[in-house]
């Protein structure tokens, strides 16, 4: 089990992604076409509890189950996370109770639907969350809250998210020098004016260096940070002869802080339509558009995009050339005829200590 305690204000990023203290980042997200928004930050203290018998000064009623599948680690090149949970916090941001599930894995995490009723000091929060990763850089998520009889300045959270870190290799007769990733974020929100209901998309593509970097780098400056329904684009300029590190995060959330004593409200963020990478445009260093290419996801050994758009997951993987094998060997990534089961070992999930 993972038990978390916070002091003071929490940033929106902390609400959307449960990031351990030692991997937390400070950044200023920017929503393209929506202007800049100042965000608040505070490092979150994370306390690891060995057993539920540990007595804390603040009473805790329950916690979201945290599981790790195949040693899922945010520092690993192949990383997938799924979060679906609800929380109640006191006026200082301390976690009173939470429920749901958080999964970290080295293979794609399936859809998760979590709901529950949380109570603390007479307050009740009913949360419903759903998140699913629908292939390469495409996800669906929705979250809702129904709060009754709030405690004094309590906070309430419902979050549904999916994230991934994998590597992609562009195969083309021409060498791309600029890549534009195009996204569509569609959905709707409903909440009182003092309750934040939102959909968020974060994306980063960069050169892959084996053994370095983290999934949480997707929240750093330089990545795409998008809020709300719209179309967005991320531009990568740099070398593409070796694999790119591709980081993707999507979330639907309802977040309320400082709710008045006795207040009741409903809020929802329905982004079950999609967070989707819709197309990719490739250009040479001279600016000429490349019209014959494919993108290989090294995490699944599947061609996921080409010049015509998204490719079905069932598409066969082209045989790598000798040069390609040499390039992949330089980065420690081997893609030649790997057995699919190497990425899909059946390991029963268990609680993370």
How many domains would you assign to the chain? 1
Confidence of residue 16 (pLDDT cuts 50, 70, 90): low
The pLDDT assigned to 274 comes to 85
How confident is the model over 60-81, as pLDDT tens digits?
336 788 887 767 889 999 999 9
DSSP codes joined into one string, 57-68? SS------EEEE
Counting residues of the chain whose pLDDT is more than 70, the rounded percentage is 70
The strand pair at 178-190 and 230-237 is best described as: antiparallel
- Which region among 207-221, 259-273, 339-353 has the lowest average model confidence (pLDDT)? 339-353
Task: Provide the pLDDT for residue 54.
Answer: 22
Give dist(CA 316, CA 296) in Å, integer: 10
Q: What pLDDT shows up at residue 160?
A: 98
Question: Which residues touch 339 (CB under 8 Å, ≥6 apart)?
Answer: none
State the Cα–Cα distance between residues 309 and 307, nearest whole angstrom: 6
Q: What is the mean pLDDT of the segment spanning 247-274? A: 96
Mean pLDDT throughout 193-206? Answer: 97
pLDDT number for residue 12:
54
Query: Using an 8 Å Cβ cutoff, are 227 and 199 in contact?
Result: yes
The pLDDT value given to residue 320: 37
Domain that holds residue 185: 3-351
Mean pLDDT in the chain?
Answer: 78
Query: What Å distances lie between residue 9 and 48, 90, 131, 341, CA to CA?
Result: 21, 11, 26, 44
Q: What is the pLDDT of residue 109?
A: 87
- Integer Cα distance of 9 and 153 in angstroms: 12
Q: Provide mean pLDDT across the span 241-267.
A: 97
Per-residue model confidence as pLDDT tens digits over 85-144: 999 999 999 999 999 999 999 988 889 999 999 999 999 999 999 999 999 999 999 999
Name the pLDDT band for 1 (thresholds 50, 70, 90). Answer: very low
Q: What is the pTM of this model?
A: 0.75
């Amino acid at each position: 089990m993972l038990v978390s305690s916070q002091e003071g204000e929490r940033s929106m990023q902390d609400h959307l992604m449960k990031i351990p203290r030692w991997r937390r980042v400070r950044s200023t997200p920017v929503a393209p076409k929506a202007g800049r928004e100042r965000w608040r930050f505070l490092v979150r203290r994370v306390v690891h509890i060995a057993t539920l018998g540990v007595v804390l000064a603040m009473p805790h009623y329950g916690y979201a189950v945290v599981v790790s599948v195949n040693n899922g680690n945010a520092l690993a090149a192949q990383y997938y996370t799924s979060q679906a949970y609800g929380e109640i916090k006191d006026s200082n941001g301390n976690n009173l109770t939470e429920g749901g599930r958080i999964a970290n894995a080295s293979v794609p995490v399936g859809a998760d639907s979590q709901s529950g009723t949380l109570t603390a000091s007479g307050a009740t929060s009913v949360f419903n969350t759903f998140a699913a990763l629908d292939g390469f850089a495409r996800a669906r998520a929705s979250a809702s809250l129904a709060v009754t009889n709030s405690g004094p300045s309590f906070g309430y959270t419902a979050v549904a998210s999916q994230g991934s870190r994998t590597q992609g290799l562009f195969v083309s007769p021409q060498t791309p020098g600029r890549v534009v990733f195009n996204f569509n974020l569609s959905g709707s929100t409903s909440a009182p004016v003092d309750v934040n209901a939102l959909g968020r998309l974060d994306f980063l593509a960069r050169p892959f260096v084996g053994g370095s970097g983290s999934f949480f780098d997707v929240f750093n400056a330089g990545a795409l940070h998008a809020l709300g329904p719209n179309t967005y684009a991320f531009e990568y300029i740099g070398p593409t002869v070796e694999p790119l590190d591709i980081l993707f995060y999507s979330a639907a959330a309802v977040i309320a802080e400082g709710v008045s004593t006795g207040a009741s409200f409903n809020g929802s963020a329905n982004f079950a339509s999609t967070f989707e990478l819709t197309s990719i445009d490739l250009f040479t260093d001279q600016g000429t558009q490349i019209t014959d290419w494919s993108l290989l996801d090294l995490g699944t050994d599947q061609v996921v995009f080409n010049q015509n758009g998204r490719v079905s997951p069932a598409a066969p993987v082209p045989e790598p050339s000798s040069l390609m094998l040499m390039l992949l060997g330089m980065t420690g990534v081997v893609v030649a005829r790997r057995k699919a089961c190497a990425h899909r070992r059946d390991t029963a999930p268990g609680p993370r200590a």
